[in-house]
Amino acid sequence: MTVPSQRMKEMRARRRAGGLREVRLVVPDLRRASVRQRLAAQVAGLDWAHEDEALDWIETVSEFDARDGR
């Protein structure tokens, strides 16, 4: 039996051969109180009128794409 590192290398090679690419994401850990506090402070500082305008634009574009068959 092969070692785990070799099996992972082979699996990645099979995926690449199949047209897939591995992507790793590093995201904030929302279980930490300090991260939640920082996020709450950022949300509290949002300009809601600007956010509503952005959401309206996203909805308009989404509807356009849906009608366009994409």
Indicate yes or no: pTM above 0.75: no
User: What is the reported pLDDT for 25?
Assistant: 94
Q: Which domain, by its residues, includes 40?
A: 4-67
User: What is the reported pLDDT for 68?
Assistant: 57
62 pLDDT band (50/70/90 cuts)?
A: confident
pLDDT tens column, 1-52 = 689 999 999 999 999 999 999 999 999 999 999 999 999 999 999 999 899 9
Count of structural domains, the chain: 1
User: What is the reported pLDDT for 69?
Assistant: 59
Q: How far is CA 22 from CA 2, 10, 15, 26, in A?
A: 22, 13, 8, 13
